[in-house]
Amino acid sequence: MAEIRELKAKQHALESRLDKQQKAPPQHQHADRGAVKTVKSDPPAPVSLDKLPGVTLTPGGFFAAESVYRTHWMGSDIVEGFQNIPFANNPAGHTDEFRFSARQSRLSLRADGDVDPSTHLTGYVEIDFLGAAQTANSNQTSSYNPRIRQLYTSLDLNEFDLHFLAGQAWTLATTNSNGIKPETILTPPQIDAQYIPGFVFARQPGLRITKNFGKEFSVAFAAEEAATTFAAVPANVAPGFTNVATLPGGGVPLVVSAPLGGGLYNSSNNYSFNRMPDLIAKVAWDPTILDRHIHVEGFGLLRDFTSRAYLGNHSVWAGGGGASVIVPVVPKLLDFQVSGAIGHGIGRYGASGLPDATTSITGAPLPIQQRMLLIGAIGHVTPQTDVYAFAGGEFSSAQPQFETVGGTTYAGGYGNWAYDNSGCGIENSGLLPAALTVCAGQTKSVRQLTGGFWHTLYSGSFGKFKAGVQYSYTVRDGFQGLGGSPQGRNSMIFTSIRYYPF
């Protein structure tokens, strides 16, 4: 008993001392005869989760060790720039390439709070390491930086079947597997971090509202960050024509510009002129037919492009629409999906990154007509093994323009047959005259066939350990021009080992 009383006395003394410290006024730096005297104070106590009893934190992500082999060098990590597959004129493209990478490793954290039985709050952050600042390189330490994939908050009002999202997430145009929820985005199962040509996606900040009508129908509307990608105007054209790098009557069209500074954008990059966000509407239907959950959806996209020419602003409307269907052909064994999009100026919403627009002869943006298609199947061979095969492509239409002003005939637009491709099939080694190495090389289409598998080596109380292999064959077609239509091809083999601890 004496020992217990002694312990209680010590505890009481400690509590009394802590109470006095908490009530004492804060100590700051103060002046003493011109010198600054620093008074050391205890660091603030960390916030404990028991002070947020209504919030549930859920970690996620995986640790990845991956590799890629290409038959034609691209100077790329585990992600492909499909629209940059080299033509024969690129000397580096005549060598092959192998890379190891851990940069697709992913970390996420989700916070959930139930305000009341019908009001739910969520915060979600997800990052990987595929960012590449100007100082990043692979010379010694492979010091690449994290990048935001998703960072958003959402509010669910279940009583009214209303859902709000604010922040950076997958674009509303990307396919869902069920309803219209940020957590049900359906991405292909490939390893390539740029996905597959024909896959419609973007991750960008914005605002979204979704309304559910029962369990089968959903409608959503979003305003999302805008950006416009422009095709460069070829410098060389067929004899008898003049390019529109300088407009008829003089002047150079301005479609992008470096930031003026102080705005926290990278001054090494150019940014398009955005007057308004991209506007997207979407409907989804989730019926059950023959004991199969079917998902059908469609979206519409409205965009605005702006340029500066002839001392004035020039704006045009662009946009398009798309649809997706997901069907479990044989439940728990074979899943089938098809998705596509069509429109003018929708290039940056495709995995191939084709340009949205080019400059017209008037100096105004000229949206490019484009189509996207992705078809795939996933087979669940065993509970541990999935195999998949996909075919996808993105296609741009030629939109040539000709205008005669003051006796000079200007050739412009996109995919113009008067653009000079005469050097696209000749390696530019520096030994030939410049006139023999000219290559406009505007991309007409990107097509890919790919397949692979994932196998779960371990699944249990310590998470999951998986391995996968992917092969892809990709073709980049150029438009017909003076000297022919160039083509680039690349075969790629990817491997991945991933540990999912959560």
Tens of pLDDT, residues 283-335: 999 999 999 999 999 999 999 999 999 999 999 999 999 999 999 999 999 99
Per-residue model confidence (pLDDT) at position 402? 92
How many angstroms separate the CA atoms of 255 and 170, rounded? 26
Per-residue model confidence (pLDDT) at position 4? 45
pLDDT at residue 3 above 80?
no
Instruction: Please report which confidence band the pLDDT of residue 10 belongs to, taking 50, 70 and 90 as the band edges.
Output: very low
Q: DSSP letters of 134-184? A: TT--SSSS--PEEEEEEEEEEEEETTTTEEEEEEEEE-TTSPBSSSS-GGG
Per-residue model confidence (pLDDT) at position 6? 52
pLDDT at residue 44 above 90?
no
Per-residue model confidence (pLDDT) at position 314? 95
pLDDT at residue 336 above 90?
yes
Per-residue model confidence (pLDDT) at position 406? 85
Category of 357 on φ-ψ map: left (φ > 0), alpha (ψ -120 to 50) or beta: beta
Question: Tokens 């040509």 identify what position?
Answer: 197
Tell me how many degrees the CA angle 62-65-69 measures, rounded to the nearest 5.
135
Mean pLDDT on 347-374 = 95
Tell me how many degrees the CA angle 415-421-422 measures, rounded to the nearest 5.
160
Name residues whose C-beta falls within 8 Å of residue 73's C-beta, 6 or more positions apart in sequence. Answer: 86, 92, 93, 94, 95, 96, 97
DSSP state letter for 131: E
Per-residue model confidence (pLDDT) at position 52? 72
Per-residue model confidence (pLDDT) at position 190? 98
Q: What is the pLDDT of residues 226-276, one digit of tens each?
A: 999 999 889 899 999 998 888 887 888 899 998 887 788 888 889 999 999
Per-residue model confidence (pLDDT) at position 331? 93
Mean pLDDT on 203-225 = 97
User: Are the CB atoms for 284 and 295 separated by under 8 Å?
Assistant: yes
Q: Which of 458, 470, 460 is nearest to 496 (CA)?
A: 470
Question: Tokens 């407009």 identify what position?
Answer: 247
Instruction: Please report which confidence band the pLDDT of residue 356 belongs to, taking 50, 70 and 90 as the band edges.
Output: very high
Q: Which of 500, 489, 496, 498 is nearest to 70 (CA)?
A: 489
pLDDT at residue 432 above 90?
no
| 308, two tokens | 């500066």
User: Are the CB atoms for 476 and 443 separated by under 8 Å?
Assistant: yes
Mean pLDDT on 488-502 = 97
Instruction: Report long-range pairs for 455-464 (Cβ below 8 Å, ≥24 apart).
Output: 455/384, 455/385, 456/383, 456/384, 456/385, 457/384, 459/384, 462/501, 463/499, 463/500, 463/501, 463/502, 464/499, 464/500
pLDDT at residue 196 above 80?
yes
User: Are the CB atoms for 441 and 479 separated by under 8 Å?
Assistant: no
Q: pTM for the complete prediction?
A: 0.87
Q: Which of 445, 386, 447, 428 is nearest to 92 (CA)?
A: 428
Q: What is the pLDDT of residues 123-141, one digit of tens each?
A: 999 999 999 877 777 777 7
Per-residue model confidence (pLDDT) at position 353? 94
Per-residue model confidence (pLDDT) at position 1? 46
How many angstroms separate the CA atoms of 174 and 293, rounded? 19
pLDDT at residue 360 above 50?
yes
User: Are the CB atoms for 445 and 394 separated by under 8 Å?
Assistant: yes
Per-residue model confidence (pLDDT) at position 251? 83
Instruction: Please report which confidence band the pLDDT of residue 429 belongs to, taking 50, 70 and 90 as the band edges.
Output: confident
What is the distance, to the nearest Å, from the Cα of residue 222 to the centroid of all Cα atoms in its chain? 17
pLDDT at residue 69 above 90?
yes
Question: Tokens 């010198």 identify what position?
Answer: 35
Per-residue model confidence (pLDDT) at position 23? 43
Q: Which of 280, 261, 281 is nearest to 271 (CA)?
A: 261
* Dihedral of the alpha carbons of 409, 413, 418, 419, in degrees to the nearest 10: 120
How many angstroms separate the CA atoms of 226 and 275, rounded? 9
Per-residue model confidence (pLDDT) at position 28? 39
Mean pLDDT score of the chain: 89
pLDDT at residue 32 above 60?
no
Strands (DSSP E) contained in 262-407 are: 271-272, 278-285, 288-289, 292-293, 295-309, 312-330, 334-344, 357-359, 365-367, 369-382, 385-396, 399-405
* Dihedral of the alpha carbons of 259, 264, 268, 269, in degrees to the nearest 10: -70
Q: What percent of the chain has pLDDT over 90?
A: 75
Of 31 and 119, the one with more pLDDT? 119
Per-residue model confidence (pLDDT) at position 443? 97
Mean pLDDT on 168-183 = 97
Per-residue model confidence (pLDDT) at position 218? 98
Edge to edge, the sheet with strand 242-243 lists 242-243, 408-414, 399-405
Name residues whose C-beta falls within 8 Å of residue 7's C-beta, 6 or more positions apart in sequence. Answer: none
Per-residue model confidence (pLDDT) at position 148? 96
473 burial type by CB count under 10 A (0-12 exposed, 13-18 middle, 19+ buried) = middle
For the ranges 18-32, 84-98, 368-382, the lowest mean pLDDT is seen at: 18-32
